[in-house]
Chain A
Amino acid sequence: METFINPKSLFHLLLLPCLLLYSSIAYNSSPVEAAMHTNNWAVLVCTSRFWFNYRHMANTLSLYRTVKRLGIPDERIILMLADDMACNTRNKYPAQVFNNENHRLNLYGDNVEVDYRGYEVTVENFLRVLTGRHETAVPRSKRLLSDEGSHILLYMTGHGGDEFLKFQDSEELQSHDLADAVKQMKEKHRFKELLIMVDTCQAATLFNQLQSPGVLAIGSSMKGENSYSHHLDSDVGVSVVDRFTYYTLAFFERLNIYDNASLSSLFSSYNPSLLMSTAYYRKDLYKRRLEEVPVTNFFGSVMETIHTDAAYKALSRRNSGRFEDEMSLDQSVHHIKRRMLIKVNDGDEIHDINPEGEEGASKCPWSTFRNKFQKAENVDSLLNYGLVAMIPLLVISTWLVQ
């Protein structure tokens, strides 16, 4: 808007249609333009524990290996496993986890970084990872640090049922909790596109309640169907892989990072007679056509790159290097002092905590008694004191009665 010599009248004249135009633009177009796809994340969750659920851990580790091979680094993978298979006392091959009876591939070999293991795999932690609501002390490697340009692959495997997924045999994740978490992720622009793969019984019911745009979901079986394991390894003694994951891996073993097979070829590679269940996928919330989306959009990592044309030649204008060295020496001394100051302050902070604790020690006998009581080092001695205190009470009461 420009201001002429008569600003007010023209301003008011132009204001109304402009406001209408702006409000219509604001309401019609999304406030944020569609962001560029910048990175890929993977959240792989195995929700079972105990030896007989070996195949669930093998499923998750196989997918972890695939995703790493196709380029997603550890810093962008969140792996949640109960991790009690490899070193289980019932494991005949210690520290080795296989997904095939030919034992060709040791999934637990090297470079496996588990972010949440054992009892940390809970519904609460899972939802915290998705929504990003962690305590301040949680390290970066355990957080999903995605932004509005990220594509996220969410893979869950374990035992499930109609609209729920069982976590570690003690809790369940309901489909409306998952839908709520995805809705909050979308509101905070934590993903550009999300692919959910679920390999459990009645898997397709888990994403019934999803409503956020940009989400594509595939489950290994529909409501009322079970998902089955692929084969039993008679050497290890348990089933080592599930059917849905087995055929997914078979598809990916043929690919490398340069390939551009599409998602529709992945989804159509599932044969219901081989899976013994119907792999159902939901694409009503996903705008793009599946034939145009390469699988490396979710399973691999292809960076957007821009070439740097020129250096920023600010230094060539400087007169002499030596003069700058002197100046920089002063600056570096100042810098070192600044850095040392920061360290010293930390030490002061630590020292401050201790005196406060010892301050109230010597105020009065009641407080010392309370302190001793609170410390309660020896519970037995406390009990003895109590019993001893009851004896005079007993004496007095018997004397009163008589």
Chain B
Amino acid sequence: MAEISEAQDSDSSKLLDSDSKAPQRPDSEPEFDPKLIRKSKPGLKRLFLTFSVLFSFLLGFPFLWKSVEIYRSPLPFREIDSLSTQLRSDTLLFPLHFHALFVGFDSDPDRLRRSILSEITKLTSQNPKCSDNYTLSVTVDLGSRCLRGPTSSPHSSSYQCGSVTAAAFVQNDDVAVDERLASVFGGKTKEYSVAVVKGGSERAVVGKYRHAWMVVGDGSDVGMAAVKVAEVLVKVFINGGREEGLIRNEFMPVGADGKIVLSFNLLNADPHDWVYDWDFEKIDDTLLTPMIEALGPVANISVESQVLYHTPKASFSYWNQKLESYVFSTKDLPFFVNSNEWHLDTSIAAGGRSKILQFAVYVPSAKECPLLLQLPNGEISKTNGFISPMWGGVIVWNPQGCLKDSEFKPSAKNIIPIQDLENMFEVFIGQFRQLFGFKSLNVYTNASGDWNLLPSERGFTEWELDVLSWQHTCFNLHSCATTLGSLSRLVQSLPRMIIKDEIGKQVKLSLEAAKLALSNASSGVYESSAASSSQARSLAEDAFFDPSIMSVSYYSFEHCFAVYSPFFLPVSMHVVLAALRELKRYKQEKAKYLAWKAKANTAT
């Protein structure tokens, strides 16, 4: 169009020129060559039109860019980095207060304190992740007065002089002694106390609360007593009765959302022989509920149960004439669980990230009854049970029918007798403790002597709960920091992935919970630090496993380009070209006009 009108313009101007000039001076035409001269000022309308189109495109470009922008909720990357560096460099410190009480000894408390401290430092292993910051105070009770060391410690214990005497330990009732000591030692601060008493029969017991006591003979050396005190403080109160300090990950069966589901299954191997049922609710209320409440800060536990039929096992057993029973050995244990027939994982209570622990009671068929477990040293197992870490535990229970088969008449439905059920559940509690890394045995054996560990009705003693709180806090905080670090790396590596608001909120809440857990841990409030750390971990996992962060569904730059370029590329090309062309034409016309003006000026 431009060319035609231009041609017309030039034609018309040519005609005009030729018309006006032709009769007069035909040879002056070259002077008014329309390609070089024009008389009128070139108009700006065309330039204005094309440039307005160009400018409207340029003006609209930021709006287009904004509309194509990926919504990314801003994540606090710096805070995430600072949390991980904080956890890596300052090791998590749990403050512990120890108190050693010597009754009937005549020694210098400061000397004792130094020897105990040196023993403790020898025994604590270097733990790069979480360690403890402990203080020790020693009291020597001489009956009439007490010598304390250190004399000016801010954490001097509130022990009343003379409250513990050797006479209290004469009777051998550990529970009563434990209660008495609890009333003596139970102060406001969480202090771990060890009482060493001279005189009486030798005994070493760790109580249900946070104290232990040791009765030594009259002629024993105070140095040996100090060594044993250091041992119980480190090995039992700090390490929880294990050799190594840190629980390994396969003994932390808490799900990523802080929940555990305990699934109890009664398996009748062959219902043609007999069918057993159990009164689960009663035993749940008496035995399991206190334990579940005690573990509240560590994990949110729920319980369910079912009875299954036709569930044979997958391994074999052989008849042992001497024991008059069928025997399976520990070599068969890995193959015992018959996963094809035992449909255990039918829980609807567990969400996607909870952990399910299966506890199964196996009632063998008449062909294999009684079924006993033989240990490698030839002995028969007292519990007939075993665990598999992170999976659960199995107990084999032999019904009465096969022991005295003449008297037993199988009825349609038999109930497991309450005494057997209680015994079984005691084994289950032992297995549950094993799954958390503790021993089910009530004795801590050591080279220098055994310590008797008093059991608690709640399944875990106070000091064991403390150990669990610290270990789980440590683990949860490290897991939270790693997860948040992975999330921030992932988000930063995909700059065009949509990050929803929810994720930002969860990350912020997780960081707040982690800070709270750290501050609680350093001030010694173990339960709430465990609870906040588990919350921090579950929020971090929720943010990381949000279903919208799928790399398949984010808009890559190539996608954006491929969607918008088929329209914008040709259009913008034409617009820019048109603008440039108009500019060039305007410049040419302007030059022609200026040339004419110059000529006119020189002519006049």
Q: A: which residues have CB within 8 A of B?
A: 1-3, 5, 19, 21-23, 25-26, 29, 31-33, 35-36, 38-39, 68, 71-76, 111, 123-124, 127-128, 131-136, 138, 140-141, 143, 145, 147-149, 177, 180, 184, 187-188, 257-258, 301-315, 317-318, 321, 324, 328, 331-332, 335
Contact = CB atoms under 8 A, between A and B. Distances in A.
Contacts of B350: 140
A263 B121 CA distance: 46
Contacts of A26: 88-89, 128
A133 B544 CA distance: 8
A306 B389 contact: yes
B383 A311 contact: yes
B270 interface: no
B440 A38 contact: no
A138 B281 CA distance: 30
13 contacts: A23-B89, A29-B128, A31-B129, A127-B551, A131-B550, A148-B249, A180-B551, A305-B336, A309-B383, A310-B383, A311-B382, A321-B418, A328-B282
Contacts of B442: 310, 312-313
A32 B135 CA distance: 29
A74 B440 CA distance: 31
Contacts of B455: 312-314, 317
Contacts of A124: 550, 552-553
A133 to B, nearest CB: 5
Given A35-B248, A309-B383, A331 B544 contact: no
A354 B88 CA distance: 51
Contacts of A143: 352
A38 to B, nearest CB: 5
Contacts of B426: 311-315
A128 B547 contact: yes
Nearest to B388: A303
A29 B164 CA distance: 48
A133 B547 contact: yes
A305 B248 contact: no
Given A177-B551, A310-B430, 13 more contacts: A26-B88, A39-B390, A133-B549, A134-B547, A184-B490, A303-B388, A304-B389, A306-B386, A308-B430, A310-B382, A312-B429, A315-B422, A328-B285
A2 B440 contact: no
A179 to B, nearest CB: 11
B330 A305 contact: yes
Interface in B127-182: 128-129, 131, 133-136, 150, 152, 175
A177 B552 CA distance: 8
Contacts of A38: 250, 388-391
The 9 residue pairs across chains A and B that have the minimum distance between CB atoms: A73-B339, A311-B426, A305-B333, A312-B430, A75-B345, A308-B385, A312-B429, A314-B455, A311-B427
A128 B548 CA distance: 10
A312 B334 contact: no
A310 to B, nearest CB: 5
B54 interface: no
A52 to B, nearest CB: 28
Contacts, number: 213
B459 A39 contact: no
Interface string B270-284: 000000000001101
A335 B427 contact: no
A82 to B, nearest CB: 20
Contacts of A5: 150, 152
A135 B547 contact: yes
A308 B547 contact: no
Interface of B: 88-89, 91, 93, 117, 120-121, 126, 128-129, 131, 133-136, 150, 152, 175, 248-250, 281-282, 284-287, 289, 314, 330, 333-337, 339-340, 342, 344-345, 347, 350-352, 373, 375, 381-383, 385-391, 393, 395, 418, 422-423, 426-427, 429-431, 433-434, 439-442, 455-459, 478, 482-483, 486, 490, 544-547, 549-553
Contact of A32 (B89, B249, B284, B314): B249
Given A39-B390, A128-B547, A303-B334, A22 B128 contact: yes
Interface centre among A23, A39, A305, A313 (most CB of B within 10 A): A305
Contact of B133 (A1, A188, A304): A1
A22 B552 contact: no
A304 B550 contact: no
Nearest to A75: B345
Contacts of A141: 345
A305 B334 contact: yes
Nearest to B383: A308
Contacts of A68: 340
Contacts of B385: 307-308
Nearest to B418: A321
A331 B552 contact: no
Contacts of B456: 314
- Interface SS majority for chain B: mixed
A148 B390 CA distance: 11
A5 B152 CA distance: 9
Contacts of B553: 124
Contacts of A303: 333-334, 337, 388, 391
B389 A314 contact: no
A135 B248 CA distance: 31
Contacts of B382: 309-311
Nearest to A2: B117
A311 B395 CA distance: 11
A307 B388 CA distance: 9
A288 B422 CA distance: 46
Nearest to A176: B551
A355 to B, nearest CB: 27
Nearest to B132: A1
Contacts of B347: 140
Contacts of B337: 303
Given A35-B248, A133-B550, A311-B423, A19 B339 contact: no
A309 B440 contact: yes
A323 B601 CA distance: 127
A193 to B, nearest CB: 15
B289 A19 contact: no
B427 to A, nearest CB: 4
B391 A310 contact: no
A5 B129 CA distance: 26
A152 B126 CA distance: 34
B390 A149 contact: yes
Given A19-B89, A36-B248, A310-B442, A71 B339 contact: yes
A136 B352 contact: yes
**Residue from B434, B455, B552 with most neighbouring chain A CB atoms (10 Å):** B552
B486 A332 contact: no
Contact of B285 (A71, A304, A331): A331
A191 to B, nearest CB: 13
Contacts of B482: 31
Nearest to A336: B281
B389 A310 contact: no
A332 B478 CA distance: 39
Nearest to A184: B490
Contacts of A257: 314, 335
Contacts of A184: 486, 490
Contacts of A332: 281-282, 285
B451 to A, nearest CB: 15
Given A1-B133, A2-B117, A335-B289, A312 B440 contact: yes
A72 B389 contact: no
Contact of A304 (B334, B339, B351, B418): B334
A209 to B, nearest CB: 13
Nearest to B455: A314
A399 to B, nearest CB: 38
A238 to B, nearest CB: 30
Contact of B128 (A25, A180, A310): A25
A309 B381 CA distance: 7
B87 to A, nearest CB: 9
A358 B337 CA distance: 54
Contact of B386 (A71, A307, A321, A335): A307
